[in-house]
Amino acid sequence: MMATTHVLVAAGVASLTALAAPEHAPAAVAAAGLGGLFPDLDIYAGHRRTLHFPVYATGAALAALALAVTSTSAVTVAVAAFLIGAALHAALDALGGGLELRPWEGRSERAVYSHYHGRWLAPRRWIRYDGAPEDLLLASVAAVPTVLLVDGALPAVAAILGVSTVYVALRRRLAALWARLAEHLVPRLPPTLQHRVPERFVDAD
Ligand SMILES: [Zn+2]
């Protein structure tokens, strides 16, 4: 799934805060959006493993949610929202495509690493790959509660959906461009750097 889908799904869930504690809704939505983005900071360092915790983050998010409900404050709500965003991200990655340069080919059996299970979870491919049309559909549907429940959210949501639409339109061409670039550039890199290029980026066949 696209990073923007993760942000909008997390924000959409957090926007439900407006029904119970409207004064905390904007902070919850912002924190959830950041939480939805956070796991992918591992993109160049053990992607979908280092910062992805499908099981543990879910446990932490549920505990934080219980605390936010019983002891509601700006801080407990924001922490719970952030963890819910991060947990949803890791869990949703298991429903997408595998970790490969062209995930629509469906050759990778690695969707996201579960530290709890001690192994990679296989991709379900409900969303075939990040940037697939159904990915944009999910992002658009997930955006609805945020727009309806949080005042002033529309411009940000529209901008995120705009960026997503461009990405979806270019997704396959970007992969082809990257494959060509990698083919030319990687052999010219010093050997120490060559080892640092993630395997999925140099799969040029
Ligand atoms: Zn991810």
List, for residues 135-170, the tens digit of each pLDDT value: 999 999 999 999 999 999 999 999 999 999 999 999
% of the chain exceeding 90 in pLDDT = 78
Alpha helices by DSSP H, 94-153? 133-149
The whole-model pTM stands at 0.89
Spacing of C-alpha 158 from chain mean position: 18
pLDDT band at 205 (very low <50, low <70, confident <90, very high): very low
Q: How far is the CA of 74 from the centre of ligand 1 (A)?
A: 27
How far apart, in whole angstroms, are the C-alpha atoms of residue 83 and residue 78?
9
Q: How far is the CA of 99 from the centre of ligand 1 (A)?
A: 10
Percentages of the chain per state (helix, strand, coil), in multiples of 5: 65, 5, 30
Query: For 171, how many CA atoms within 13 A lie in the half-sphere containing its CB?
Result: 20
Structure confidence by residue, pLDDT tens digits, 54-105: 999 999 999 999 999 999 999 999 999 999 999 999 999 999 999 988 899 9
Q: How far is the CA of 71 from the centre of ligand 1 (A)?
A: 30
Residue 202 pLDDT: 63
How far apart, in whole angstroms, are the C-alpha atoms of residue 205 and residue 104?
14
Q: How far is the CA of 70 from the centre of ligand 1 (A)?
A: 30
pLDDT band at 28 (very low <50, low <70, confident <90, very high): very high
The neighbouring-strand residues paired with 112 are 121
Q: How far is the CA of 48 from the centre of ligand 1 (A)?
A: 5
Residue 34 in tokens: 């950041």
How far apart, in whole angstroms, are the C-alpha atoms of residue 158 and residue 163?
9
Residue 74 in tokens: 């700006």
Q: How far is the CA of 112 from the centre of ligand 1 (A)?
A: 7
Instruction: Determine the residue type at 137.
Output: L
Q: How far is the CA of 50 from the centre of ligand 1 (A)?
A: 10
